């Protein structure tokens, strides 16, 4: 790791405008420069759900002043662990944002998004958000359930226009719940091709008509399926009559102000694009990886910034609402974050969660020390992304990197960050956060 590991300490303006909740104060102390007086403006408060409330989120109230995290202490304890994660995980650059209630309270960039050009990473840096987008794609589908177009246990075949599912048993159909929990029996498949290759990925309809197939009975096991989430895009299109990308832009990106997130980098985003890297198999040196496109793009072919990821996390931790913009009914947001099958449990990628961990609808879910958490990871060659939140305290962590399969390191950082913000782990600066 070079001597420019840590990038600019100032939170820069995001690609298309500063987030209202992202504020930083300039000061002589590097940590003081990251303290946010915005915490005193009272974000909506955490509250535990009533177990008998049939999945309805409680009403939010103001955060008590004694629950606000000491950002200076949090950052002082977290930054050494960010550096350690980058060294041990061979991560060239990392951007991170912390959220409390409805506010982005801190964000920063570390390392270099382009090693040859020595470009410092900042919260403006654009990375692929990969499979963290699955939580957004699932939300676009569930918005249609909220509108009465289907029920969660309806067969999806009844809503597909002219697209049969080869191998499906009519007596055991794939349901919407199966698709959203990776229990559909559809295969794990990824068909990436280099961006600059002569070949291009199949168009959505061609891909599904040629490759859609069932490999096992639905509901019998978890089989992580990019194809299943690609089929979700087709369902959205068949129900709405609109392009999936337009639906997501209009119903999710726009109301949340996610102006630096899209299915392909805009020219303004491309200027800030991080180079993907992976260690050389023999020397271990970081070498650029080929950027890829893939036919399963609805499962994670989306680019964005950590600031935009933080906006998504705020909406998710606040019952489907972001600063007055509701994108999902509270009951549906709760359902997304509730484990759907008791028989499919165990830690997720990178060791996130414990024995009670399982899938909600797209989201990973777990409990830890009596509190509820959600998360999702994403990785494409040369990039790893992670979003994580404490549901009961409404504390969130979003991380984007251009490191190869860095999941365990991002999991550890995320739990440390939410623990520090909650005050449940007190760590002396530089002591390692273990």
Compute the distance between CA of residue 374 and CA of residue 368 in angstroms, rounded to an integer.
Answer: 11
* 3-state SS assignment for residue 80: helix
Higher pLDDT, 192 or 93: 93
- Flag whether pLDDT at 13 surpasses 50: no
Per-residue model confidence as pLDDT tens digits over 264-275: 999 999 999 999
Mean pLDDT of the region 4-23: 34
On average, the pLDDT of the chain sits at 85
* 3-state SS assignment for residue 271: coil
Terminal CA-to-CA distance of the chain, rounded, Å? 22
Per-residue model confidence as pLDDT tens digits over 349-369: 999 999 999 999 999 999 999
Nearest to 312 by CA among 62, 38, 102, 49: 102
Q: Using the structure block, give the residue that is written with the tokens 């950027």.
A: 291
- Please say whether the structural domain 137-248 has been given the CATH code 3.40.50.300: no
What percent of the residues of the chain are helix, what percent strand, and what percent coil, each to the nearest 5?
30, 20, 50
Contact 410, 377 (CB under 8 A): yes
Compute the distance between CA of residue 229 and CA of residue 298 in angstroms, rounded to an integer.
Answer: 6
If one counts every other C-beta atom within 10 angstroms of the C-beta of residue 152, the result is 16
Nearest to 357 by CA among 316, 388, 319: 388
Nearest to 267 by CA among 59, 15, 41, 53: 15
The partner residues of 401 in beta bridges, in order of sequence, read 94, 384
Nearest to 294 by CA among 198, 200, 403, 187: 200
Q: Using the structure block, give the residue that is written with the tokens 């549906």.
A: 332
Q: Sign of dihedral through CA atoms 408, 252, 325, 254?
A: positive
Mean pLDDT of the region 309-315: 98
User: How far is the CA of 280 from the CAs of 319, 397, 403, in angstroms?
Assistant: 43, 30, 12
Q: Could you tell me the residue ranges of all domains in the chain?
A: 32-127+261-422, 137-248
What pLDDT does residue 28 have? 27
| Residue 289 dihedral angles phi and psi, to the nearest 5° | -105, 150
If one counts every other C-beta atom within 10 angstroms of the C-beta of residue 153, the result is 10
Contact 145, 151 (CB under 8 A): yes
* Superfamily holding 32-127+261-422: DD-peptidase/beta-lactamase superfamily (3.40.710.10)
Per-residue model confidence as pLDDT tens digits over 63-86: 433 456 789 999 999 999 999 999
Query: Is the fold of 32-127+261-422 the same as that of 137-248?
Result: yes
Compute the distance between CA of residue 234 and CA of residue 236 in angstroms, rounded to an integer.
Answer: 5
Compute the distance between CA of residue 367 and CA of residue 390 in angstroms, rounded to an integer.
Answer: 9
What pLDDT does residue 155 have? 98
Indicate the pLDDT class of residue 44, thresholds 50, 70 and 90: very low
- Flag whether pLDDT at 45 surpasses 90: no
What pLDDT does residue 67 have? 56
């Amino acid at each position: 790791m070079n001597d420019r590991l840590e990038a600019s300490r100032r939170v820069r303006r995001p690609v298309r405008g500063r987030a209202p909740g992202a504020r930083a104060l300039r000061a002589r102390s590097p940590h003081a420069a990251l303290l946010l007086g915005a915490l005193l403006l009272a974000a909506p408060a955490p509250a535990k759900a009533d177990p008998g409330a049939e999945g309805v989120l409680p009403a939010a109230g103001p955060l008590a002043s004694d629950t606000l995290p000491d950002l200076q202490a949090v950052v002082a304890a977290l930054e050494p662990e960010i550096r350690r994660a980058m060294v041990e995980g061979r991560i060239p650059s990392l951007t991170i944002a912390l959220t409390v209630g409805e506010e982005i309270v801190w964000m920063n960039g570390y390392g270099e998004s382009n090693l040859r050009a020595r470009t410092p990473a900042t919260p403006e840096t654009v990375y692929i958000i990969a499979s963290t987008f699955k939580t957004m794609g699932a939300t676009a589908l569930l918005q249609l359930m909220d509108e009465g177009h289907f029920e969660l246990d309806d067969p999806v075949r009844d809503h597909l226009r002219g697209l049969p599912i080869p191998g499906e048993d009519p007596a055991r159909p794939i349901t919407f719940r199966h698709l959203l929990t990776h229990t559909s029996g559809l295969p794990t498949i990824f068909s990436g091709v280099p961006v600059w290759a002569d070949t291009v990925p199949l168009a959505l309809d061609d891909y599904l008509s040629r490759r859609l197939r069932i490999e096992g009975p639905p509901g019998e096991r978890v089989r992580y399926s990019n194809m299943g989430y690609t089929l979700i895009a087709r369902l959205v299109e068949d129900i709405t009559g609109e392009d999936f990308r337009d639906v997501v832009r209009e119903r999710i990106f726009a109301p949340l102000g996610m102006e630096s997130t899209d299915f392909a980098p805009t020219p303004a985003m491309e200027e800030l694009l991080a180079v993907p890297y992976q260690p050389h198999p023999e020397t271990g040196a970081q070498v650029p990886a080929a950027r890829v496109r893939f036919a399963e793009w609805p499962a994670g072919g989306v680019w964005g910034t950590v600031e935009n990821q933080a906006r998504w996390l705020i909406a998710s931790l606040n019952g489907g609402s972001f600063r007055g913009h509701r994108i999902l009914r509270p009951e549906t947001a709760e359902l997304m974050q509730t484990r759907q099958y008791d028989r499919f449990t165990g830690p997720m990628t990178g060791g996130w969660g414990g024995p009670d961990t399982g899938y909600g609808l797209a989201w990973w879910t777990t409990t830890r020390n009596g509190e509820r958490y959600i998360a999702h990871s994403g990785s494409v060659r040369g990039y790893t992304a992670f979003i994580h939140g404490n549901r009961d305290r409404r504390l969130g962590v979003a991380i984007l990197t251009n490191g190869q399969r860095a999941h365990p390191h991002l999991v550890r950082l995320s739990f440390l960050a939410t623990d520090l913000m909650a005050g449940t782990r007190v760590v002396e600066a530089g002591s390692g956060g273990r």
